[in-house]
Copies of this chain bind each other. A is one copy, B any other.
Amino acid sequence: MEKLSSMETDFSQWYQDVIFKSELVDLSPTKGCFVIRPYGYALWENIKNILDQKISLTGTENAYFPLLIPESFLKKEEKHIEGFSPELAVVTHAGGQELEEPLIVRPTSETMIYYMFARWIKSWRDLPLKINQWANVIRWEMRPRAFLRSIEFLWQEGHTAHITQEQAIQMAKIALDIYKDILENYLAIPVISGIKSESEKFAGAHCTYTLEGMMQNGKALQMCTSHVLNHSFSQSFDIKFQDEDGEVKSPYCSSWGMTTRVLGALIMVHGDQNGLIIPPKIAPIKAVIIPIYKNDDERDLVLSVANNLKEELCEKDFIVVIDRDENKTPGSKFFQWELKGVPVRIEIGPRDIEKKQAVLVSRIKSDIIQKKKFVTIDNIKKDLNQLLETIQNELFQKARGNLSSKWNQAYKLEDFGPILYEENGFYQAGWCCSKKCEHKLKGYRASIRCILDSKNNKTCFYCGQSSRNDVLIAKAY
């Protein structure tokens, strides 16, 4: 097994090495599309299950809408088609014939779903209407990267309609809160919430909320967004309801999504030179037992204890495996499971059994986690759970440390631009709200990731005119 490329000198190649060698994904014969292998898919399913439950608690119901959307539908909302047209995949032939109207493979489902909303919404009694879809979508990326920018990706898309704008805004905020909860408390990724600038917002949205994450190489990654759509789609698709007062009105809409892209973030936030590091709460395998023995007698003994241990530890969503491979040394097994980011390795040999103990080896070291810990077998369940909890917390703390260490206060672009260009990181500065100044960031390959609540800065980073809110500037994926 060759080593991974260096994170320090070639982060991008390190990322590729990790995702392919840990068997999260593989290249497919369809250019720009990736296969999500069982280990990667199990990770996605774990996140999906938690997110699905939280979405359902908001009274949102799952449904399924067609993959193929008539081309004319995307054109109904002018800004929407402007934003998406370079990314579309088009079905022109089907059933052995050329189609009368081309069909678009959905890049997102606003047009399809709001068309259906117009059929379903008649009265204020039908509102709010909250629908979620788990689906695959296609956006033709010119430079595809697995998880981050793949041509096909998996996601959920929530779409809701409300009587008032306030309710639509509230829904978009609730969705963002759910995403923040999942990212911080399950994926152990700290995020910054803010609002997208006009030029970065979703095509067709009135306002886009975003969660931005900070990778270990100092680049920002947009994690999840939620949009207040207001009347844009409800007017182009003629959604109308009779309100309690008898008047006919348009509902206010929201939409919001989380995608397989968060898996890319997970890798870039937590991974190290040995490979993946998966936060325990979402790890497909919580611990791997490595039996250590020198001869057949020892093997029988160790495997029988290992089996009992596995039986005791495994529960429905708590998977523990034994690596029984006879053709590998314990050392190469350690290497393999570290690469896969399994949070804890349990080593057990004849001497351990004699002493009624086992060794818990954490995937990470920190001030409060020793790498190796001897525990008594009788107490192992409790000790393992405690260690997993500590690892989960430490991963979040470490990621938070990385985020703050890369967060810079900045004033004038001519000063911080060249630094940003070389060193990455977040740069908090003032902004006058003009596109002209925003555009100057392109010279440093950077952009406004989000508009913050805070108002530390009085003047714009470029023109020096007065600033309303601070913005967070970074190079981003």
Interface residues of A (CB under 8 A from B): 26, 28-30, 33-38, 40-42, 44-45, 61-70, 73, 85-96, 102-103, 105, 112, 115-116, 119-120, 125, 131, 135-136, 138, 140, 142, 152, 154, 327
Contact = CB atoms under 8 A, between A and B. Distances in A.
Nearest to A325: B125
B90 A94 contact: yes
A261 to B, nearest CB: 14
Contacts of A30: 66, 68-70, 103, 112
15 contacts: A28-B65, A29-B115, A33-B66, A35-B116, A40-B63, A68-B89, A86-B95, A89-B91, A89-B95, A89-B103, A91-B91, A91-B92, A91-B105, A95-B140, A125-B327
Nearest to A65: B35
A115 B33 CA distance: 14
A253 B284 CA distance: 27
Contacts of A40: 63
A63 B89 contact: no
A115 B28 CA distance: 9
A477 to B, nearest CB: 19
A67 B136 contact: yes
A37 B131 CA distance: 9
A45 B142 CA distance: 35
B28 A42 contact: no
Nearest to A105: B91
Contact of A152 (B67, B96, B152, B327): B67
A175 to B, nearest CB: 18
B65 A41 contact: no
Contact of A91 (B36, B37, B61, B90): B90
A461 to B, nearest CB: 34
Contact of A66 (B28, B86, B88, B102): B28
